[in-house]
Each structure stands twice: as structure tokens, then as C-alpha cells.
Amino acid sequence: MTIVVTGGAGFIGSNFVLEWLAAGAGPVVNLDKLTYAGNLANLASVSGDPRHHFVRGDIADAALVGRLLAKHRPRAVVHFAAESHVDRSIHAPDAFIQTNVVGTFRLLEAVRGHWQSLDGAGREAFRFLHVSTDEVYGSLSETDPPFSETTAYAPNSPYSASKAASDHLVRAYHHTYGLPVLTTNCSNNYGPFQFPEKLVPLMIANALEAKPLPVYGDGRQVRDWLYVGDHCEAIRLVLEKGRPGEVYNVGGNAEKPNLDVVHALCDSLDALRPREGGHRGLIARVADRPGHDRRYAIDAGKMRSELGWSPRESFESGLARTVRWYLDNADWVAQVRSGEYRNWIEKNYGKRA
């Protein structure tokens, strides 16, 4: 009953691994390259668990992936591994093409070989689940309906273009070879273990150090916010009950402008860690990033109707859990905010002020 998880030391991947093992769902082979956002500290609580087998390696290493599949004979591969930050893709798109496109292609080739080697029942039960993003659909106006699984792709950043390419490869491997694939396209995740370049942990970490809270442009860019635990539950359901070849959009039913999210974070911190003058006084408008999409929104009706899933956390309850986690795990935050991270923040935000 083993599964292989790629990118299982990253934000969403590590949350998935921890929840999978907590549910007693079976052993996990966790393949992660441990780039800047991959962190074994995320998995400290299962470091001695014999059901968790960590392997440091690259999904683009076809020989390594092939050996892992041959050795562990997994019933499924859950593919999280990706470069995922839009701002980084603007500064250095090549890494996104290499990991998200070339890496996914080589992973698919290895998985196809493994799947074809299975016997009848094992082959029938096998699944490849590809975790993607709502950003592949492009940008919405204020009045446009939310993204559905049939929305045309229109990616606008090197990151979203690379994820769109990987989605198309996954679809093609189902159509051409019959590989039993599943794809999920999720909205903005937040929660424990998120690397503090993303909006929610960046604002929490900066606020606690009384640093400016940089908000792009007018701050009215709208995103749908999904608590990571709800996302992990959705992925487990898709893996268990989803129909091969299908796409499932996963959203949090929580459309919020970025500025409103920052205000909510400040108010939560004011209640838990009061600051003279309040945390909203730290908000600093900075120049917008190139090609910034205005609005994302998810229609998760297919998840509800086919799989009976809807998010357990409201935006308010999920944000409260998230803020509390970062306050209770200051050592983790300090460890990940390395020199490389500080250099990146200066590179991305310093010239926008």
C-alpha cells in the first residue's frame, strides 16, 4: 500500500505526508530535492517513523525514480514537486522550466514504465495524481464567473506557464498511453510550514520583527484562500475516489483582496501580540510586480458533487490557526529565514519600495 510523494518536504507536500501518516493510510516514500523551500524540519515529527522513507533526489533523475519505483512498487504517485513562486519565476524562469516541465516529463516516463510493468489488478488500481494551480487559467475580471475545470488555459507568468505545460503533459499521457492520471488545480494555500516568501507567512514574520509589510500596488488583487489541511483532505479523496483522466478544482470558498488578508493578519496579531500603534501601521505600498493577475476564483462544485468534499475551515478559522502556529514555532521561522532568504527578499522588494 506504499505511495511515492514528490516534493514531500515542501509546504503542501509535508503537510500531506504528515496527515497521510497520521491517518494510518500506509507507507510513504518521500522524494525531494531539498531546494531552498524544501525543509526536513517540516518532517521532524516522523523522522523516526519506519513508514516514512525519505530520499533526497530530483524528479528529473529518471534512473533514480525508476529504481525507487522498482524497489517499492507503489500503488500511487502524488506529484507535488515544483518551483512555485511567481516572483522567483519572473527573476529566473529557467528553473521553473527545468523542474515543472522537464522534471514532470521525466517523472511521467518513469511512472509509465512502472505502471506498464504491473499485473492486472495492480495496474488497474494504480494512480498518478498531479497537483497543480488555479493560476494556469489566467486572470479574471471582477464580474467573471470562477474558474471551472473547463475554463480555457491562459497562463500569464513563467510559473503558471510551466505548470500549464505540466498539466498538458499529464493529460497527454492519459490520452495517448492510458496512464491513470488525476489532476487537481488548487487556489492559494496557507497554513503551517509555508516558506516565508509567500504573502501570509511573510507578513507574519515581518510584523513580528516590526518590519514593513510590503503590499503590491493597490492591494486589491483577489485570491481564493484555501487552508492547507483542507487541500490535503481533498487530495486524499481525489486519490481514493477520483475518476482517471479527470481534473478537480479545489478552492477554499474565500475570495479576498490581498490588502484585506494583510489587515486580517494585523488584527489577529494585535490581539495575540499587541504592538503600540497596531500592526496595520507597518503596511507599506510597493510597486506592483510585472503582469500581476487581478483575480483568481475557484468553482469547486465538482469536488462537492462527485466526492462530497468542501473545506472545513473558514478563512477566519484557518487564519487563526495559521497565526497561532507561526507564533508557537518561532524557531522554525528563524531557521528558514537564512542569508539566502534575506538576499531574495531584498532582491524582490528592495527596489519596489
CA-to-CA dists, residue 209 to 3, 230, 270, angstroms: 40, 30, 13
Domains of the chain plus CATH, in order, are 3-187+227-253+293-312 (3.40.50.720)
> What does the pLDDT look like over 240-294, one tens digit per residue?
999 999 999 999 999 999 999 999 999 999 999 999 999 999 999 999 989 899 9
3-state secondary structure 87-149: HHHHHCCHHHHHHHHHHHHHHHHHHHHHHHHCCHHHHHHCEEEEEEEHHHHCCCCCCCCCECC
Report pTM.
Answer: 0.94
> What does the pLDDT look like over 79-101, one tens digit per residue?
999 998 888 899 999 999 999 99
All cell numbers assigned to 188: 492559494
Residue 208 has pLDDT above 90, yes or no: yes
Residue-wise burial string across 55-92, b where 16 or more C-beta atoms lie within 10 A, e elsewhere? eebbbbbbebbbebbeebebbbbbbbbbbbbbbbbbee
Catalytic residue positions?
Answer: 134-135, 159
- Provide the pLDDT for residue 336: 84
